[in-house]
Amino acid sequence: MTARPIAVVGASAAGLAAVEALRRFGWRGPLTLIGDEPHLPYDRPPLSKQLLHGAWEPEKLLLRTADQLDPLDLDLRLGTRATGLDVATRTLTLDGGVGVPPLERGREWGKLACAGVIIATGVAARSLPGAEGIAGVHTLRTLDDALTLRGLLAGGGRRLVIVGNGVLGCEAAAVARELGHEVTLVGIAEIPMAAAVGAEVGELLAEEHRDRGVQLRTGAVDGFETAPADSSGTGGGQVTAVRLANGGTPGNGGVASGGPPGSGGVAAGGGGGSRLPADLVLLAIGSRPAVEWLADPALDTTDGLRCDAYCAAAPGIYAAGDVARWDHPQHGRPLRFEHRMNATEQGMAAARNLLAELAAEAPAGDGDAAPVQERRPFAPVPYFWSDQYDLKIQAYGLTAGADRIETTVLDRAQRRVVALYGRDGSAVGVLAAGLPPRRLRALRAVVATPLAWDEAREQFRAALASGQDTP
């Protein structure tokens, strides 16, 4: 029996799905779950909605309690960062944290030799140069981020500037308005969420935000203003305004050039553009895959960890969730999804395929090997949703990057809309807001397998006409 564990790096939704699947599919050997946060695995979508609003407490976000994890017999290492991976030997380097044994049995500190590794480290929030160290400027990615921001929004009456008008920025804007704050939503793109859902659906969302009192602005952030220190030398460094570039994107591509906190002026690079007064600033400008710790040249970390159709990045090394960029068999190109449903599904798929590989490697009679016979390509129908005010937006397939969109507004006042998305002559995605689940399932069937645009368009219209909401 091998003493080497399977290690799952990332105590996330994908990581939890992976360890549970490994046990369910028959892995009887040691199993290690590593997470850089001190918290048990929790759900991230509610961070920008129910938790930020105050409707939920952190305990409701837990995906499993400690008692529920006990049957998995995990070596659970929370507050532990993976800082390196040697692909050839499948050896992880770890940095501190709960549960890391000091020099156990003569092993080198922080080294964990593994039978296999599943990487589920997700993504990290992007920031802007010059934002670090300025009080009142925040990102929203982790539970601690959300709790900090929730505390600051609890009193009402703040001036909140949200930089980034994608999904996260729009969701946070909706929550902040419901809490009674003045909200300005700023984006490089003129229409919120246009990159994800298209211009017509995005404009419908823009109308809803305007009707709710959100100020929408288009522009690139060129710096921050901060309060000067008082006579005692304290009190400086608190953000007081966001500066937008004059005449469009500044020379460094739309991000702030930075400046010393507490300088009392615009961060270096300000050019006399618009000034947006702010008590708080939320940077919702996207994310970057958490792959900086993967320096082994055997791995391709361009826009996530590159994997094959089986979610394998190298022999015995798999990936799942937001960090994975893998060959989708039906779409014929590498894709990376930052969607909650995909995290769970891919965690299970990576676990199953890793066990199939290990079973093929294992000598006869190995007590840890699982009876999984063959690997299977991972070919999901992607799903994402967004809750904003009373709107629930749901989409199946690929909506971003479409070169053709057909949008049908069913009821503009109620923001009820459907859209079909195409790329390279095929229909690849559908979106709906305000439709019941039965209708949405019918639309999903249109893109479950990519169809030629004209054929899919006929099915799409037939699915719409089959209900009471015929356009």
Query: Collapsing DSSP states into helix, strand and coil, what is residue 5?
Result: coil
Nearest in space to 386 (alpha carbons), one of 126, 145, 147, 174: 174
CATH number, domain of 184, equals 3.50.50.60
Residues 305 and 267 in one domain: no
Number of domains, the chain: 3
Residues 313 and 257 in one domain: no
pLDDT classification of 155: cutoffs 50, 70, 90: confident
- Integer Cα distance of 139 and 431 in angstroms: 28
- Integer Cα distance of 51 and 7 in angstroms: 30
Is residue 303 situated within a structural domain?
Answer: yes
pLDDT classification of 106: cutoffs 50, 70, 90: very low
pLDDT classification of 117: cutoffs 50, 70, 90: very high
Is residue 368 situated within a structural domain?
Answer: no
Is residue 471 situated within a structural domain?
Answer: no
* Per-residue confidence (pLDDT) for residue 369, from 0 to 100: 64
Range of the domain at 396: 390-465
Of 254, 285, 316, which closes a domain?
Answer: 285
- Integer Cα distance of 124 and 78 in angstroms: 17
Is residue 382 situated within a structural domain?
Answer: no
Of 260, 285, 310, which closes a domain?
Answer: 285
* Per-residue confidence (pLDDT) for residue 413, from 0 to 100: 93
Query: Is 80 exceeded by the pLDDT of residue 265?
Result: no
CATH number, domain of 418, equals 3.30.390.30
Query: Is 60 exceeded by the pLDDT of residue 107?
Result: no
Residues 238 and 311 in one domain: no
Range scoring the smallest mean pLDDT among 188-202, 290-304, 358-372, 433-447 = 358-372
Beta strands in 63-171 (DSSP E): 75-78, 81-86, 91-95, 111-113, 116-119, 123-125, 137-139, 159-163
